[in-house]
Amino acid sequence: MKPTLKTTWLQTLNRRTPLGWLQLSHEKSRLLVAIAGIAFADILIFIQLGFQGALYDSNTALIRALDADIVLVSPSAKNTQNLATFPRRRLYQARDIEGVESAQAIYSGVIQWQNPQTQLEANIQVVGIDPDQIAFHLPEVNDQLDTLKIPQAVLFDRKSRGEYGNVIAQVEQGNRVSTEVDGKTVEIRGLFELGASFGADSFLMTSQQNFSLLFPRRSSGSVSLGLIDVAPGQNAETVAIALRSYLTEDVNVLTLEEFIAKEQAYWSTESPIGFVFGLGATMAFVVGVVIVYQVLSTDVNTHMQEYATFKAMGYRHRYLLSIVFEESIILAVLGFIPGALLSIGLYRLAAHATSLPLILTVNRAILVFILTVIMCLMSGAIATQKLQAADPADMF
């Protein structure tokens, strides 16, 4: 039976007049308006989702670069820009646990500094690491660990937001650039690459000693993050469980994956920003539904008499429904293409202007395409209610 069914279905498709397409293509200006409207809605959705994605990516960039198996963090730490501290003693205690190969402290704080190029104040996140250990898999940082041992030396994020072109050029030529951080002088002696986040315009990487000089009120006994490497052959989960039962409750023990997931969850659920962009994308979706509905309902109204004629000829109601849904799908595809292409351009513009990692991923493109199809089908479904008025008995 199955092959027969398939043949019938194919034959049906083959003999069906593509009425939806013919109706749409017959009214060129209306079609263009519809495509422009859908492309516009798609661009809005792309931009909202793009910034949302950039928010997650940029705010987790630092911790995704961590070279560790397990992370110790204060239970009151909300996110990596706002890390509460915990006693350094926990790191020494952690070394007692079997399977822990090394434990090191990372200090982090946000501070105002003066842009050496414009002399304007900006928020900058300073990260203090132990120059004798590897804390990040950032090759440029790891190559310049010896530089960090020099007093006042800092490494500067070349993907910082703001006007730093001259500074970066100078440092690249081997010059040192000095500036003031909270009344203290620092010297930029090298560069690395991480990218601005929403909370901080840029990153400074420095040694724990230099960090203490910039944050005199912070005791070196209060650390922001603890990085633990497990010994080869040891399972990070197992070691983490052992650490949890051994350490007191003033510290959270998370595997790196858990830590990244927690950070992501914070930005998407607890911070208002994730909600704002989600709302923005939803509004864009609604705008799209309204635009497509306008186009489709106008189309249904214009063809009411023709539809009633089809009914008088013996076409069923579902045939009329299929015309509207055919139009919906065509509009979704035709609107998505320019929407996606323009979004690629806008992503480039926005990435350049904000130093945020705005990239149109294939996954996001697929998501927006599916949303576009749903958007158009919803509009189509609302527009089909008007089809009830196509009553052939009223035509005579």
Interacting residues toward other proteins by CB under 8 A: 11-12, 14-17, 19, 22-23, 25-27, 303, 305-306, 309-316, 392-393, 395-396
User: Least distance to other proteins from the beta carbon of 313, Å?
Assistant: 6
DSSP 284-298: HHHHHHHHHHHHHHH
CB contact at 8 A, 300 and 6: no
Residue 36's Cα: distance from chain center in Å?
26
CB contact at 8 A, 369 and 375: no
User: Least distance to other proteins from the beta carbon of 326, Å?
Assistant: 13
Give the three-class secondary structure for 316.
Answer: coil
Place of tokens 């000095």: 178
CB contact at 8 A, 70 and 228: yes
Please say which residue, 217 or 318, places its beta carbon nearer to other proteins. 318
The token pair at 188 is 């930029």
Q: For residues 379 and 368, what is the distance between their CA atoms, to the nearest angstrom?
A: 16
User: Least distance to other proteins from the beta carbon of 288, Å?
Assistant: 25
User: Least distance to other proteins from the beta carbon of 312, Å?
Assistant: 5
For the chain, list the strands marked E by DSSP. 70-73, 86-87, 100-114, 121-129, 153-157, 177-181, 184-192, 202-207, 222-223, 225-230, 252-255
Query: Which runs of consecutive H residues, i.e. helices, occur in 186-271?
Result: 208-214, 236-246, 256-265
Please say which residue, 17 or 269, places its beta carbon nearer to other proteins. 17
Please say which residue, 370 or 395, places its beta carbon nearer to other proteins. 395
Q: For residues 357 and 85, what is the distance between their CA atoms, to the nearest angstrom?
A: 29
Residue 18's contacts (CB-CB under 8 Å, 6 or more residues apart) are 326
Please say which residue, 111 or 312, places its beta carbon nearer to other proteins. 312
Please say which residue, 189 or 303, places its beta carbon nearer to other proteins. 303
User: Least distance to other proteins from the beta carbon of 34, Å?
Assistant: 15
Q: For residues 112 and 94, what is the distance between their CA atoms, to the nearest angstrom?
A: 34
Angle (CA) 19 11 322, round 5°: 35
Q: For residues 136 and 251, what is the distance between their CA atoms, to the nearest angstrom?
A: 21
Please say which residue, 137 or 316, places its beta carbon nearer to other proteins. 316
Antiparallel, parallel or unpaired: β 184-192 and 177-181: antiparallel
User: Least distance to other proteins from the beta carbon of 304, Å?
Assistant: 11
The token pair at 185 is 């002088």
User: Least distance to other proteins from the beta carbon of 4, Å?
Assistant: 14
Q: For residues 100 and 123, what is the distance between their CA atoms, to the nearest angstrom?
A: 36
User: Least distance to other proteins from the beta carbon of 273, Å?
Assistant: 47
User: Least distance to other proteins from the beta carbon of 15, Å?
Assistant: 4
Residue 237's contacts (CB-CB under 8 Å, 6 or more residues apart) are 255
Q: For residues 3 and 293, what is the distance between their CA atoms, to the nearest angstrom?
A: 38
User: Least distance to other proteins from the beta carbon of 385, Å?
Assistant: 19
Please say which residue, 341 or 395, places its beta carbon nearer to other proteins. 395
Please say which residue, 17 or 29, places its beta carbon nearer to other proteins. 17
Please say which residue, 6 or 316, places its beta carbon nearer to other proteins. 316
Please say which residue, 31 or 167, places its beta carbon nearer to other proteins. 31
